[in-house]
Structure 1
Amino acid sequence: MVENSNILLPPGGQRILVVMAHPDDAEFLCGGTIARLTAQGCEVSYLLATRGQRGSDDPAMTPERLAVIREAEQRRAAEVLGVRQVLFLDYVDGDVEPSLQMRREIARLVRLLKPDVVFTFDPWQRYQVHPDHRAVGLCTLDALAASRNLMYYPEQFAETGGPHRVRQIYFFASDQPNHWVDISAVIDRKVEALLCHASQMRGRDAQAIRELVLQRGRPLGSEHGFTCAEAFHHLVMN
């Protein structure tokens, strides 16, 4: 099914959970879509596996300092986009694996937050070189399968109230997109959110970031009549 929409979600999709590996992943890959969702009244939460403590080439920087910097940057960017809350799992940047422990932790938060829709990495993206991206996408999908099942992690039920089923998943960074979102009207908000990630922007100003957003978004939107778009693979879980 190929989708092309100004309204991203199916009816009832009010609670959104975005699961990512590092600060700035969401802003780069789906920041415009998030801006549109919050403008429509959706409740968006972020869940990050790491604080991005290895995302620097500065020899004077330390992982400990960078983790504090990038967490603050992520919270500011989330505020710009209208995200309700930002949660971290405290894994180490670059060392994330699709483990049973991470699956359990994500399943717990899915049961607590009860999202209608989840956004995450497409774990089957070809030639994806960052292990954290592959691991987070795969582990999130596995956690969604577990979170709906009565026999998985029943020790969580006293806290979470029981299983929770998520039917709608949108994979970003996918080689096989089937859903495109027009972000032409919210480019400035995406740029503003990206500017919050100063440690990662390498001195780029707003104009340079805007050109980067358009460079990525124009090809995605051109075939669908959009000036600028973000693309996803939409999967319905039965």
Structure 2
Amino acid sequence: MHNVMVFAPHADDASAFCGGTLAKWSANGWNIILVRVTDDARDSVGLTMEETKRRNRAELEKSCSILGIKEIVDLDFPTDTLADIPLTKLRERFVYLIRKYKPYAIFSFDPYAHFEPNMDHIRVARAVEEALWVSCFDLHHPEHFKEGLEPFSVCERWYFARNLEKITYAEDITEFFPNRVQALSAHETMMRNILNQFRLQLKTWGYRVSVIEEAYSGDYSGLLEQVIYMQCSQIAEECGLPEGTLAEGFRVDRFGDMEAFFQQFAEPLKDVPQGPKRPFFDKYWPDE
């Protein structure tokens, strides 16, 4: 069984951007570790910070159970302040976790995506990107080795974003679409805060939208399902998948411009399980 690690700045990010894919991978036997970077202590409406933290943590556990995520690692950095945290401090924590859990693949915000307004997302994405190569160096954080850890390199990087510049792979999540909707709906405290942000902006504009008001004060799951369905349908259509398919889009990277070279000359190791075949990578692989 391979490990996969998800770096989520906030509790709802995994279900919001790759929940269907994670549910699918979990069903296929992957062991998923979710790293929540911040404490989400301010992501609520009308609650104290302590109550906000408590609710968001409980709702994260419920969401993860729906997606099949069995382990949550909380780093508890203060939410909405990662711009003030040294990048090397974030990076060291990520390097440690990569060396500890040895994930075959990671999921993270794309550090090169455009139009990302949330600085926590940006900082985590950049720190993850650096951690992926720093984790290989024995002169970076040798204090980790006192715990029996060793240099380690992740094989696959699955990047998501609000606006990916280019989707290189669309994962068919049609079967697991309900899991994504239910998992994101589980984040009630955060979802109502998002709806309230829209309400405040609409008020400044001088308008109201009845469906937003109804969702904010009542059941928002129907609206959420409609929005996610539209997003996943559009991704599937743009990527040429069959009509009726629902998909999540990623920029997936493995060996970069060395992909063809490694596929041409790679020989399987006898004592290490080989990774899964990926059609979008294996176009260079000889037919077996």
**Fold-level match, TM-score > 0.5?**
yes
Residue identity over aligned pairs, in percent, reads: 27
**What CA distance in whole angstroms lies between the structure 2 residues aligned with 1:29 and 1:142?**
21
Q: Which residue of 1 aligns with 2:115?
A: 127
**What CA distance in whole angstroms lies between the structure 2 residues aligned with 1:237 and 1:136?**
22
Pair 1:50-2:47 in alignment? no
1:76 maps to which of 32, 45, 62? 62
Pair 1:201-2:217 in alignment? no
**What CA distance in whole angstroms lies between the structure 2 residues aligned with 1:109 and 1:160?**
13
Q: Which residue of 2 aligns with 1:3?
A: none
Question: What is the CA distance between 1:160 and its match in structure 2?
Answer: 4.3
Question: Conserved in 2, the CA contact under 8 Å of 1:121 and 1:171?
Answer: yes
List aligned pairs for 1:218-233, cutoff 5 A.
218-223=233-238, 224-226=240-242, 227-233=245-251
**What CA distance in whole angstroms lies between the structure 2 residues aligned with 1:231 and 1:160?**
37
Question: Conserved in 2, the CA contact under 8 Å of 1:19 and 1:46?
Answer: yes
**What CA distance in whole angstroms lies between the structure 1 residues aligned with 2:115 and 2:68?**
32
**Structure 1, unpaired ranges of 5+:** 1-11
Name whichever structure is richer in strand by fraction: 1
**What CA distance in whole angstroms lies between the structure 2 residues aligned with 1:104 and 1:53?**
23
**What CA distance in whole angstroms lies between the structure 2 residues aligned with 1:167 and 1:186?**
25
Q: Which residue of 2 aligns with 1:215?
A: 230
Q: Which residue of 2 aligns with 1:181?
A: 171
The structure, 1 or 2, with the larger RCO (C-alpha pairs under 8 Å, 6+ apart) is: 1
With over 3 angstroms needed to count, the CA separation of the structure-2 counterparts of 1:237 and 1:138, relative to structure 1, is farther
Question: What is the CA distance between 1:101 and its match in structure 2?
Answer: 0.9
Q: Name the amino acid aligned to 2:73.
A: L
List aligned pairs for 1:105-184, cutoff 5 A.
105-173=93-161, 174-184=164-174
Q: Secondary structure at the match of 1:201?
A: helix
Q: Name the amino acid aligned to 1:182.
A: D
Question: Conserved in 2, the CA contact under 8 Å of 1:54 and 1:63?
Answer: yes
Pair member with larger Rg:
2
The size of the alignment, in residue pairs, is: 224
User: What is the RMSD computed on CA atoms of the aligned residues?
Assistant: 1.5
Question: What is the CA distance between 1:158 and its match in structure 2?
Answer: 2.1
Question: What is the CA distance between 1:185 and its match in structure 2?
Answer: 1.0
Q: Name the amino acid aligned to 1:206.
A: S
How big is each residue's C-alpha offset from its partner over 1:100-137, in whole Å with a ceiling of 9 and x where there is no partner?
11111110011001100010001121111100000001
Q: Name the amino acid aligned to 2:122.
A: R
**What CA distance in whole angstroms lies between the structure 2 residues aligned with 1:175 and 1:62?**
38
Question: What is the CA distance between 1:218 and its match in structure 2?
Answer: 0.9
Pair 1:29-2:17 in alignment? yes
Farther-moved stretch of structure 1 (177-186 vs 207-216):
207-216
